[in-house]
């Protein structure tokens, strides 16, 4: 009996010692375990800033179209390392999540594509050359997309560009704020060809309400100005995008007397590119009505034999490669015609679908354009860029018809 009690006592002592040893070891290694866990959880952060203290960083949500989060990174001594910006941008396979590291000197440390649904072999071509961003200063970033990976590249570039604007400031936004005190954001409506202005913008306040419109004019290789009008197309002046030379500034000031005049009433006689811009814009203002409805942006009367018989909607959306502009004409509340006015689709697949006209005809003839199986009009699989071109065309028709029906016809 005594022997059993003795053995039990020894086992109890051994157990207590072992337990204390385990607790001691755990206590000593607890911090190391936590560090390893955090390092695994935030692997991307550590790959950008290896000395980052994962128990001491600041996270701020960003209310922007592209950037969602800004991480302020410090080392274990509390010294500032830089920022990690997290952004999300659409690509052909879905939404890409991109991280951009910026050091204390405002240079790119690393760009990481952390999540993607793009085709693996295509997106890998982009991932393989992301190190070309490293060490570049914002405002001077130079990076070429690999062949065949345009949309994957564009999604990453949009995040890098948004970070650049956060770091360097946005001269376009600042220009619009000089005209509209409440200007909070802007978005691109159209890229224009063969006109004196190259891009058209909506200017919005914090609630998303359109305050006016701007048209970017490249005076020359070094001087860019905006022609700005309010929501009623009243001229608000020319404003420089950034610093301009004396000659361009004089051109701008020559139009000061026309500020607050309806654009269509201005009859310039300066013989310069700013006059060309006003003359190019007048027909757009006179013949179309603006719309801020999803992807429908303008409409105009459809005229036959000098009589208004219908309405044509100008619709923009993203194709496989950048912006696609279509015109959808509705007569007697029925689809009448559909044409693509501009696009950037590849000649060897996307453009073929646009040019052969079969899909356009199918969309017009269908009882419900949404029911058209786009893939029947391509020779490619469901993930191909050609199918995405067709889906963009379908969106244009559906959006125009929906707007027309909701508004009871224009």
Q: Which residues contact 18 (CB under 8 A, 6 or more apart)?
A: none
Domain final residue pick, 247, 266, 287: 287
What's the confidence (pLDDT) of residue 147?
56
Q: Is residue 49 one of the residues assigned to a domain? A: no
The domain boundary, picked from 261, 287, 313, lies at 287
Do both 330 and 397 map to the same domain?
A: yes
**117 and 193: one domain?**
no
For residue 363, tell me if it sits in a domain: yes
Question: d(Cα 209, Cα 196) in Å, to the nearest integer?
Answer: 27
Same domain, residue pair 283 and 294: no
For residue 382, the model assigns a pLDDT of: 41
Q: Domain residues for 303?
A: 290-406
46 within domain boundaries: no
Number of domains in the chain: 4
CB 282 within 8 A of CB 263: yes
- In terms of domains, do 249 and 328 share one? no
Same domain, 246 and 191: yes
Residue 226 to residue 281: CA distance in whole angstroms: 12
74: helix, strand or coil: strand
Give the integer Cα–Cα distance in Å for 4 and 1: 5
Residue 361 lies in a domain: yes
On whether the pTM is more than 0.75, the answer is no
Give me the residues of the chain with pLDDT under 70, please.
1-41, 63, 139, 144-149, 321, 348, 378-386, 408-410
Q: Are residues 133 and 237 in the same domain?
A: no
- Whether the CB-CB separation of 335 and 326 falls below 8 Å is answered with no
Cβ(88)–Cβ(64) below 8 Å: no
Whole-angstrom Cα distance, residue 308 to residue 329? 12
How far apart CA 262 and CA 33 sit, in angstroms, is 69
Q: Is residue 64 part of a domain?
A: yes
Boundary (domain end) residue, out of 121, 146, 168: 168
Kindly state whether residues 323 and 347 are assigned to the same domain: yes
| pLDDT score, position 307 | 94
Sign of CA pseudo-dihedral 242, 243, 245, 247: positive
Co-location of 175 and 140 in the same domain: no
Evaluate whether residue 48 is within a structural domain: no
Whole-number pLDDT of residue 270: 92
User: Are 82 and 163 within one domain?
Assistant: yes
Q: Is residue 297 part of a domain?
A: yes
Is 178 part of a structural domain of the chain?
yes
pLDDT score of 241: 92
Rounded to whole angstroms, how far apart are CA atoms 406 and 343?
27
pLDDT value at residue 242 = 87
Residue 20 structure tokens: 């204390």
Shared domain check, 233 and 164: no
Same domain, 160 and 180: no
DSSP 83-101: EEEEEEEEETTEEEEEEEE
In whole angstroms, give the CA distance from residue 49 to residue 73. 8
Q: Do 305 and 391 share a domain, yes or no?
A: yes
């Amino acid at each position: 009996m005594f022997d059993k009690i003795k053995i039990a006592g020894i086992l109890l002592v051994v157990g207590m010692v072992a337990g204390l040893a385990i607790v001691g070891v755990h206590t000593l290694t607890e911090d190391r375990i936590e560090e390893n866990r955090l390092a695994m959880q935030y692997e991307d952060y550590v790959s950008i800033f290896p000395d980052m203290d994962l128990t001491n960083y600041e996270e701020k949500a960003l209310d922007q179209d592209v950037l969602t989060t800004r991480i302020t990174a410090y080392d274990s001594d509390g010294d500032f390392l830089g920022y990690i910006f997290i952004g999300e941008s659409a690509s052909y396979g879905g939404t890409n999540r991109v991280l951009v590291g910026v050091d204390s000197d405002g240079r790119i440390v690393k760009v990481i594509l952390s999540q993607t649904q793009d085709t693996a072999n295509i997106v890998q071509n982009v991932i393989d050359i992301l190190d070309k961003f490293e060490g570049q200063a914002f405002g001077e970033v130079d990076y070429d997309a690999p062949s065949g990976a345009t949309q994957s590249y564009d999604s990453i570039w949009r995040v890098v560009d948004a970070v650049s604007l956060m770091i360097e400031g946005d001269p376009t936004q600042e220009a619009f704020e000089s005209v509209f005190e409440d200007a909070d954001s802007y978005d691109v409506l159209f890229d224009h060809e063969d006109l004196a202005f190259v891009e058209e913008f909506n200017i919005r306040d914090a609630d998303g309400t359109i305050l006016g419109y701007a048209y970017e004019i490249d005076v020359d290789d070094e001087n860019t100005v905006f022609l700005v009008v309010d929501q009623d197309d009243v001229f608000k002046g020319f404003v420089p995008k950034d610093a301009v030379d004396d000659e361009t500034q004089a051109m701008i000031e020559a139009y000061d007397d026309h500020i607050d005049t309806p654009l269509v009433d201005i009859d310039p006689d300066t013989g310069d590119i700013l006059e060309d811009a006003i003359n190019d814009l007048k027909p757009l203002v006179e013949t179309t009505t603006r719309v801020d409805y999803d992807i429908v942006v303008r409409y105009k009367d459809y005229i036959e034999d000098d009589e208004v018989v219908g309405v044509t909607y100008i619709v923009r959306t993203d194709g496989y490669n950048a912006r696609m502009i279509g015109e959808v004409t509705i007569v007697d509340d029925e689809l009448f015609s559909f044409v693509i006015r501009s696009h950037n689709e590849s000649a060897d697949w996307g453009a073929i679908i646009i040019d052969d006209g079969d899909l356009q005809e199918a969309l017009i003839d269908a009882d419900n354009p949404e029911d058209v199986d786009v893939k029947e009009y391509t020779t490619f699989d469901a993930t191909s860029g050609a199918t995405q071109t067709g889906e963009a065309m379908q969106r244009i028709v559906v959006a125009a018809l929906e707007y027309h029906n909701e508004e009871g016809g224009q």
